[in-house]
Amino acid sequence: MPKFKRTIFEIIDTTHSGGNASRAFDIGMLILIFFNILAVVLETEEGLYSQYKIHFQYFEIFSVGVFTVEYIFRLWTCTEHIKYKSPILGRLRYALSPSMLIDLLSFLPFYLPLGGMDLRFIRAVRLFRLFRLFKMGRYSQSLNKLANVIKSKKEELIITLFSSIVLLIMASSLMYFIERESQPELFGSIPKAMWWGAVTLTTVGYGDVYPMTLLGRIIGAFIAVLGIGLFALPAGIIASGFATELQKQKQEQKICPHCGKDINTTP
C-alpha cells in the first residue's frame, strides 16, 4: 500500500516526474478540462442544449466522477509531501490551499442540487463550473510560468495599476469640471465622467461619450496619447518577467539534480 500510494502521488503531483504515466495523466486532464469548458459554453445555446441535453448530462457525470476521484487521491497522497506530512493537519492545510479549493469548486456545484436547495440558486452556482478552467494551470508548464512571472512582478504590476487608477480619477475629474456645463447628462458627475476616462485611457474609444468644448478636446487628445504609454507598461513588465523566467529555467537545466554541479563542467 505505501508503494502504491507513492506511485499515485508521483503520477498526479505536477512537481514530480512519474514518467510516461504522469505525462499521460496531465495530457488527459488537460483534454478533459478543455472539453468541460467547451461544454459550459455550448450549454448556453438553448437550441443546442435542448437537442443534446442527455449527452451533456452524461458528460457532466463522467467529468465530475473523474474530478472527484482525482481530488480524493490528491487528498490521500498529499502526506507524501514533506510540507503536508501530518495525516490530519497536513491534509487540512492541503485542502485549504488555493489549487485544492479550485479543484473542489470545479465539481462541488454538481452535488449541491442533491441538498434540495432553491433552483434559482443552483442555476447561479452552476457558473462555478468555470473554475475548471483554472485547473489547467496545474497541468500546464506554460501557465505555471505565467503565474511565476505575475508573482515575481507583482509589486511593479500593483504600482502600475495604482498609477492607472490615479490617472483615471484625475482625467475624469478634470473632464467633469470642463464638460459638465455643456453635457450634464454625460459629464454631470465624476463617476459618469469615469466611463469616458476608462475608454479613452484604454484607447478603446467607443465614441458614445466624448468632449465637445475646445479645451475638453485638447485635454482629451493629450489623455488619449498618455493612455497609450501607461497601458503599455504592464506588457513590458510581463515581457521582462518572462525573459527572466526563461533564463532561470535554462540555468536550472544546467545544474545536476544529484550533485548540484554544472553538468557542462568536466570532472
- Positive or negative, the Cα torsion across 156, 161, 166, 172? positive
Q: What does the pLDDT look like over 27-50, one tens digit per residue?
A: 888 888 888 888 877 887 888 889
Is there a single domain that holds both residue 263 and residue 144?
yes
Q: How confident is the model at residue 156 (pLDDT cuts 50, 70, 90)?
A: confident
Q: How confident is the model at residue 16 (pLDDT cuts 50, 70, 90)?
A: low
Is there a single domain that holds both residue 12 and residue 120?
yes
pLDDT higher than threshold 60 for residue 162: yes
Last residue of a domain, one of 93, 123, 139: 139
Q: Which three cell numbers stand for residue 27?
A: 495530457
Q: What does the pLDDT look like over 213-251, one tens digit per residue?
A: 999 999 999 988 888 877 778 888 888 888 887 787 777
Residue 188 burial class via C-beta count within 10 angstroms: exposed 0-12, middle 13-18, buried 19 and up = middle
Residue 214 burial class via C-beta count within 10 angstroms: exposed 0-12, middle 13-18, buried 19 and up = exposed
Last residue of a domain, one of 82, 111, 139: 139
Angle ∠(196,202,203) on CA atoms, nearest 5? 85
Residue 119, pLDDT score? 42
Tell me, what amino acid is at 30?
Answer: L
- Positive or negative, the Cα torsion across 182, 186, 190, 196? negative
Lowest mean per-residue pLDDT among 21-35, 96-110, 191-205, 242-256: 242-256
Which residues, 6 or more positions from 245, have their beta carbon under 8 angstroms from its beta carbon? 145, 148, 149, 152
- Count other Cβ atoms within 10 Å, centred on residue 122: 13
Q: What is the mean pLDDT of residues 93-112?
A: 84
Nearest by Cα to 60 from 107, 20, 24, 16: 107
- Quote the CA–CA distance of 138 and 143 in Å, as a whole number: 8
Residue 113, pLDDT score? 60
Is there a single domain that holds both residue 123 and residue 144?
no
Q: How confident is the model at residue 253 (pLDDT cuts 50, 70, 90)?
A: low
pLDDT higher than threshold 60 for residue 191: yes
Is there a single domain that holds both residue 64 and residue 127?
yes
Q: What does the pLDDT look like over 105-150, one tens digit per residue?
A: 878 878 876 555 444 444 444 556 566 666 666 666 666 777 788 8
Q: What does the pLDDT look like over 165-180, one tens digit per residue?
A: 888 899 999 999 999 8
Tell me, what amino acid is at 123?
Answer: R
Is there a single domain that holds both residue 57 and residue 150?
no
Is there a single domain that holds both residue 251 and residue 144?
yes
pLDDT higher than threshold 60 for residue 188: yes
Cβ atoms 139, 29 nearer than 8 A: yes
Q: Which three cell numbers stand for residue 6?
A: 507513492
Is there a single domain that holds both residue 59 and residue 173?
no
Residue 37, pLDDT score? 80
**Domain count along the chain:** 2
- Quote the CA–CA distance of 208 and 205 in Å, as a whole number: 8
List the domain range (segments joined by +) for residue 200: 140-267
Is there a single domain that holds both residue 147 and residue 265?
yes
Q: How confident is the model at residue 212 (pLDDT cuts 50, 70, 90)?
A: very high
Residue 243, pLDDT score? 84
Considering only residues 244 and 68, tell me which one the structure prediction assigns the higher pLDDT: 68
Nearest by Cα to 105 from 55, 58, 76, 71: 71
